[in-house]
């Protein structure tokens, strides 16, 4: 498969382990993951991560809901290191479009990662303000699309077509976000996505590729037996 794996998380020790192992080609973070990891100093976290990971892309997200302040935060994050991508949500919390902000940042040469996208129409509109000269990432939350009982593959293929139509397929990389299972990696690759974000729990399962299923079945039976024995269950 051609697709690149990006680790999604905010625990620096895990990020460094992935980086040193060569398992992944980049990293993404967001305020929710940072809060779950107990991070309180945003800038300190970003600087520490960038000191330890110097030649792989890392996405850091703005957290204001006000577009001028988002612009200021984006420029500050951009100045931290050349491997920074600045995550901009496709709208603010009021549903107001972030596209003018994205256009302004791209004109300044900022590498953006436009996030929380759910529809092909959003990607079509976004394509108007991206540039074939400035690298960017288009993060479509395929996992959340599937959470709504919709097949995400047609949406991802349509997104790929929109980016190709505007000749952005080389600089604007389509990212399958909110990966739910290892098989999503194959789906994303089949749809022409260049990147998929994977959690540490998904990364650990990569070693199962091609595993003998009868052996896997037996291991599962043993797991149930061992857990029942360890719990001391009686009937």
Residue-wise pLDDT tens digits, 126-162:
999 999 999 999 999 999 999 999 999 999 999 999 9
Domain total for the chain? 1
**45 found inside a domain:** yes
**222 found inside a domain:** no
pLDDT on residue 227: 98
Q: Are 174 and 138 in contact (CB under 8 A)?
A: yes
**37 found inside a domain:** yes
Backbone angles phi, psi at 44, to 5 degrees: -65, -40
**231 found inside a domain:** no
**59 found inside a domain:** yes
203-228 tens-digit pLDDT: 999 999 999 999 999 999 999 999 99
Expressed as residue numbers, the domain containing 199 is 4-209
Residue 78 parent element (H or E): helix 67-78
**221 found inside a domain:** no
**227 found inside a domain:** no
Distance CA 77, CA 10 (A): 16
Pick the closest to residue 112 from 74, 69, 168 (CA basis): 74
User: Does the predicted TM-score (pTM) go above 0.85?
Assistant: yes
CATH number at residue 136: 3.20.20.70
73-107 tens-digit pLDDT: 999 999 999 999 999 999 999 999 999 999 999 99
pLDDT on residue 206: 93
Structure tokens of 44? 């300190």
**232 found inside a domain:** no
């Amino acid at each position: 498969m051609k697709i690149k794996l990006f680790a999604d998380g905010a625990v620096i020790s895990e990020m460094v382990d992935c980086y040193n192992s060569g398992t992944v080609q980049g990293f993404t973070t967001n305020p929710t993951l940072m809060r779950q990891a107990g991070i309180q100093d945003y800038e300190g976290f970003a600087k520490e991560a960038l000191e330890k990971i110097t030649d792989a892309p890392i996405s850091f997200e703005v957290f204001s809901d006000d577009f001028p302040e988002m612009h200021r935060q984006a420029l500050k994050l951009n100045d931290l290191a050349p491997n920074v991508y600045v995550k901009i949500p496709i709208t603010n919390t009021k549903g107001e479009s972030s596209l003018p902000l994205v256009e302004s940042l791209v004109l300044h040469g900022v590498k953006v990662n436009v996030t929380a996208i759910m529809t092909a129409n959003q990607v079509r509109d976004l394509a108007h303000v991206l540039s074939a000269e400035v690298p960017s990432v288009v993060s479509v939350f395929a996992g959340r699309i599937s959470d709504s009982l919709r097949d995400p593959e047609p949406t991802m293929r349509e997104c790929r077509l929109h980016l190709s139509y505007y000749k952005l397929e080389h600089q604007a990389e389509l990212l399958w976000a909110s990966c739910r299972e290892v098989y999503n990696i194959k789906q994303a690759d089949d749809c022409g996505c260049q990147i998929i974000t994977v959690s540490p729990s998904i990364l650990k399962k990569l070693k199962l590729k091609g595993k003998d299923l009868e052996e896997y079945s037996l291991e599962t039976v043993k797991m149930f037996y061992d857990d029942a024995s360890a719990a001391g269950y009686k009937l």
